[in-house]
Chains A and B, each alone.
Chain A
Amino acid sequence: MENILEVKNLSKKYQDFELKNINIALPKGMIMGIIGENGAGKSTTIKSILNLIQADKGEIKIFGLDYQKNETKIKEDIGVVLDDSFLSEYLTPNDINKMMKQIYKNWDETLYFKYIEDFHLPKDKISKDYSSGMKMKLKIAVALSHHPKLLILDEPTSGLDPVARNEILDIFQDFIQDESKGILVSSHITSDLEHIADYITFINHGEIVLSKTRDELLENYGIVKCSAEEFQKIASKDYVKYKKNRYEYDVLVENKFEFKKKYDAPIVDKPTIEEIMLIYIKGEK
């Protein structure tokens, strides 16, 4: 399958933080979720992909083209939602429309106002007076209205209530009905990504800890709950990490079916992304 986005060995060093060898491959027609703690490097990765931060090294290809060399052309086809808005809060949706018409060749006024209407956003009110959910929906409407092929969104669902988050997930799934498109989305609300993301990439301390398909992660990984005695019997190669709790051990295993064949495991739970993340971050090996 052809990749819509490819990142190879992306690195960036700061005084107190380092992004180390990030590799990402997003096939066409798919959604990739980037998860990780606050400060793990999700936003730095996204900003480096967009060339808003100059990476120290690495190669970025979007639509099969080198990003640095084709930046203007590529940007026409990307829709971006970042944490910090690049739109002034003193603009109304009407003002934004006038502005964007000048910026994007493919700006689709009709589509834009359709989104504004669908999202129930007042056209003549400056966005400063919007709720945080409305502000986010406005950003998403702007990102979608020039018919992008790739959507890159940093924390689009944070601060939103469940109903609004649901609506946004619907928009994502509508977007990839066209299999030539793709979405890269970061979130620390892992349950949003659990259902609809095809790939999950987990960044911790500036490094990719794992990047797998949703099914590999959620259907194969398991959390074994056992006593200290039972834990002693598990060979170190058979688990990823463990977390010692007061009354039990939580042991993360890569393939619960293999594990069950080999060990007389009492309880092997189906994990959520959040639980996998927690054991990775807090667990030991």
Chain B
Amino acid sequence: MNIIISNSSGTPIYEQIREQIKNKIVSNELKTGELLPSIRVLAKDLRISVITTKNAYEELEKEGYVQTIPGKGTYVANKNIELIREEQLQKIESLMDTAVSIAKISQISKEDLRNMLEILYGEEK
């Protein structure tokens, strides 16, 4: 599993870890029931404080992505796919909203915007 931490980015380190693990769960790189490294091992491997990894795991647990079984470890939770999808949709909507606002300000047509989307989405495939 890759986790890449930037010390110079403005995003807090626990946030970076949370976000990256979350993405791996959403993309199914980390599968339900999979055991995550312990907070101490992860802290040592990333050379960060234990409290930082603990914060990240606690946040993930609150959001329902992982589950900690005392004495055993932290596992990827049996996640609610619908809920995650809903969350992603909201995220896309807000980003699209920004794109539309910018387009309107600069008088870029709906057509142009649609074309752009076609190209971007197509490229991804």
Number of interface residues of A (CB under 8 A): 20
Residue in A169, A197, A219 whose beta carbon sits within 8 Å of that of B13 in the complex = A219
Q: Is A198 part of the contact surface with B, judged by Cβ < 8 Å?
A: yes
Looking at the assembled complex, report how far the CB atom of A219 sits from the nearest CB atom of chain B, in whole angstroms: 4
A214 touches B49 (CB 8 A): yes
Residue in B10, B40, B55 whose beta carbon sits within 8 Å of that of A29 in the complex = B40
Task: Bits for A22-49, please: 1 = Cβ < 8 Å to B, else 0.
Answer: 0000000111000000000000000000
Residue in B12, B13, B40 whose beta carbon sits within 8 Å of that of A177 in the complex = B40
User: Which residues of chain B are within 8 angstroms of A31 by Cβ–Cβ distance?
Assistant: 49-50
Q: Is A230 part of the contact surface with B, judged by Cβ < 8 Å?
A: no
Q: Is A240 part of the contact surface with B, judged by Cβ < 8 Å?
A: no
Given contacts A173-B43, A173-B44, A174-B44, is CB(A198)–CB(B51) below 8 Å? yes
Looking at the assembled complex, report how far the CB atom of A167 sits from the nearest CB atom of chain B, in whole angstroms: 12
In this complex, which of B10, B40, B48, B49 has the most chain A Cβ atoms within 10 angstroms of its Cβ? B49
Give the complex CA separation of A213 and B12 in angstroms: 13
Given contacts A169-B47, A195-B47, is CB(A214)–CB(B41) below 8 Å? no
Which A residues from 132 to 170 make CB contacts under 8 A with B?
Answer: 169-170
User: Which residues of chain B are within 8 angstroms of A179 by Cβ–Cβ distance?
Assistant: 40
A215 touches B51 (CB 8 A): yes
B13 touches A198 (CB 8 A): no
Looking at the assembled complex, report how far the CB atom of A200 sits from the nearest CB atom of chain B, in whole angstroms: 10
Q: Is A75 part of the contact surface with B, judged by Cβ < 8 Å?
A: no
A215 touches B49 (CB 8 A): yes
Looking at the assembled complex, report how far the CB atom of A72 sits from the nearest CB atom of chain B, in whole angstroms: 31
Give the complex CA separation of A176 and B41 in angstroms: 10
Q: Is A196 part of the contact surface with B, judged by Cβ < 8 Å?
A: yes
Residue in A169, A174, A198, A270 whose beta carbon sits within 8 Å of that of B50 in the complex = A198
Task: Bits for A173-195, please: 1 = Cβ < 8 Å to B, else 0.
Answer: 11011010000000000000001
B50 touches A215 (CB 8 A): no
Task: Bits for B45-66, please: 1 = Cβ < 8 Å to A, else 0.
Answer: 0011111100100000000000
Give the complex CA separation of A174 and B48 in angstroms: 12
B40 touches A195 (CB 8 A): no
A29 touches B50 (CB 8 A): yes
B41 touches A213 (CB 8 A): no
Looking at the assembled complex, report how far the CB atom of B80 sits from the nearest CB atom of chain A, in whole angstroms: 28
Q: Is B75 part of the contact surface with A, judged by Cβ < 8 Å?
A: no
Given contacts A219-B12, A219-B13, A219-B14, is CB(A177)–CB(B44) below 8 Å? yes
Which B residues from 7 to 30 make CB contacts under 8 A with A?
Answer: 7, 10, 12-14
User: Which residues of chain A are within 8 angstroms of B52 by Cβ–Cβ distance?
Assistant: 214-215
Give the complex CA separation of A198 and B52 in angstroms: 8
User: Which residues of chain A are within 8 angstroms of B55 by Cβ–Cβ distance?
Assistant: 215
Looking at the assembled complex, report how far the CB atom of B48 sits from the nearest CB atom of chain A, in whole angstroms: 6
Give the complex CA separation of A214 and B12 in angstroms: 11
B51 touches A214 (CB 8 A): yes
A195 touches B48 (CB 8 A): yes
Give the complex CA separation of A272 and B49 in angstroms: 15
Give the complex CA separation of A176 and B13 in angstroms: 20
The interface of chain A, by Cβ under 8 A from chain B, is 29-31, 169-170, 173-174, 176-177, 179, 195-199, 213-215, 219, 270
6 cross-chain pairs, A with B, having the tightest CB-CB distances, nearest first = A219-B12, A173-B44, A198-B51, A198-B49, A214-B49, A213-B51
A sample of 14 inter-chain contacts (CB < 8 A) reads A30-B50, A169-B47, A173-B43, A173-B47, A177-B44, A195-B7, A195-B47, A196-B43, A196-B48, A196-B49, A215-B49, A215-B51, A215-B52, A270-B10
Q: A215-B49, A215-B51, A270-B10 are in contact. List 4 more A-B contacts (CB 8 A).
A: A173-B44, A196-B47, A196-B48, A215-B52
